[in-house]
Amino acid sequence: MIRLRLISLRLSIAVALLAISGCSSWSYAPLAIPDGLERMQSKKAENVEVSVAILTDEQAEQHFGIDLSSHDLQAIWVNVKNESPYRFWFLRTVLDLDIYPPDEVAILFKSQLPKKDFAVFRQRLRDESMRVELQPRSVTQGFVFAPKALGGRYVDVRLGQDIYDVELARRAAQENGQTTIKAKELELRFDFAIPLPDGIFDYERLDTQHTYAGQTLPELTLDELRAEVRALPCCSTNAEGDAPGDPLNIAIVGDSSQVLNSLSRSGWSFTHRLSVKSISNLIGATLASTPYPVAPVSDLFLFGRKQDLALQRGRPSIAERNHMRLWLAPFRYAGKQVWVGQISRDIGIKLTSKSSSLTTHIIDPEVDLAREYLLQTLLAGGFVQAMGFVKGSQAAPMSAPAVNLMDDSYFSDGLRLVIQLSDSPIPYSQVRSFLWERSAAPILESQSGDAEENFQALDTEQ
């Protein structure tokens, strides 16, 4: 009987504790904005200034009273100072197609909040959200909730002039015989590349000023650039330098900040360094076949050191991604740094004793297709000023493929893609060619004679 009473008493205490915890209030401590924001960036055009910042997980939890990271979300702060006489619309889906409206965010956290606080919490999210209509001669600020990016985020803020107002202005101009509205007034674009360090990204240790400390790097002519890039080793190597790794098939002309900005804006992600934490994450993602969009890459060597920088474009599975390694070259062109690199596509994972993580990716044997992928992602973003192909990489036909350090076979035309980055986005029609070599067409080089059934030359004489 006494035992039953004790059990009953314990259950009563447990229920009381649950009731007390369920009645605890949701609370928050608003940040000082903009003074309390880190890494805020601003740009101005046409009497409109845009500022952006991304809250850290800790800042978001303080400001909203919830852990956004628990649902892989980020809060992006946007401020628009519109000193123009025009009404604009904030095209927020350009920033991210998967933006979360405030009510959706509220629902995600509904079960974690006391019932009495939910309506107030939801209204706070609504009130803190960035408006889409931007009145003339006004300042508007607020937050956008988007899927979490790791390592860094490209923030594209696009403002479109109110189409109703534009059409009224066009008709008034036509009636008065005036010139039509200038196109640049119809759409404004502000792009930002914002780093999000966490302590183990490789770019956090990038220090190009000391890579060749005490040396004066030669400034090359275009012909000298072609010769130097061609004269480089065919492939990266192991640490000892006595075995070939993946082929060196790319070179990029641009200072480090320009390279990071252009690649992140083109959808490339940064990578974690190899560490106990990142290896643990990698093994866990491999076993669970889950994404790890900033997974580390194994070390390969050139110029007597491992890669200075690595980037990737991941897929939903850790086993699949495009990735590249870059090394700062000991020469310059057009006043800019030159980066030599290797790019390939990972299409699977295998266990190996040759890697410190005990796993390694299997590369797509058609490495030229990954090279073409890099070119097209940068062309699509308008980041290519000029490009060309030069010999020097490992040439190997599909019938006699080459092999890398992890015993993966690959074939290639042996050309290196050289890209000179543009200082600002330019249209495809303005991209120039160095007129060096013509590359073999990826996909075509891997096809058999049966593929000719899908191709037919037109007889223009008929």
Residue 299 has pLDDT above 50, yes or no: yes
Which pair of tokens denotes residue 422? 């543009």
Question: Which part of the chain is CATH 2.60.40?
Answer: 26-195
pLDDT tens digits along 181-232: 665 567 899 988 888 887 778 888 889 999 999 999 999 999 999 999 999 9
In which order are the strands placed within the sheet that holds 138-147?
Answer: 41-45, 48-54, 73-82, 138-147
Residue 273 has pLDDT above 90, yes or no: no
pLDDT tens digits along 336-357: 999 999 999 887 776 666 665 5
Report the predicted TM-score, pTM, of the whole model to 2 decimal places. 0.79
pLDDT at position 292: 77
Higher-pLDDT residue of 7, 256:
256
Residue type, 319: A
Residue 7 has pLDDT above 70, yes or no: no
pLDDT at position 259: 93
Per-residue pLDDT band for 105 (boundaries 50, 70, 90) equals very high
Segment 169-176 shows an average pLDDT of 84
In which order are the strands placed within the sheet that holds 88-90?
Answer: 133-134, 88-90, 151-161, 187-196
pLDDT at position 185: 65
Q: To the nearest whole number, what is the mean pLDDT of the chain?
A: 87
Residue 140 has pLDDT above 80, yes or no: yes
Higher-pLDDT residue of 10, 20:
10
| Pair 79, 34: CB distance under 8 Å | yes
pLDDT at position 352: 65
Residue 1 has pLDDT above 50, yes or no: no
Distance CA 46, CA 378 (A): 27
Residue 2 has pLDDT above 50, yes or no: no
Question: Per-residue DSSP letters for 302-336?
Answer: ETTEE-SEEEEEE-SSTT-EEEEEEEEEEEEETTE
Which class would CATH give 26-195? mainly beta
- In angstroms, the Cα distances linking 189 to 92, 94, 338 are 12, 10, 28
- Least reliable range by pLDDT among 281-295, 369-383, 411-425: 281-295
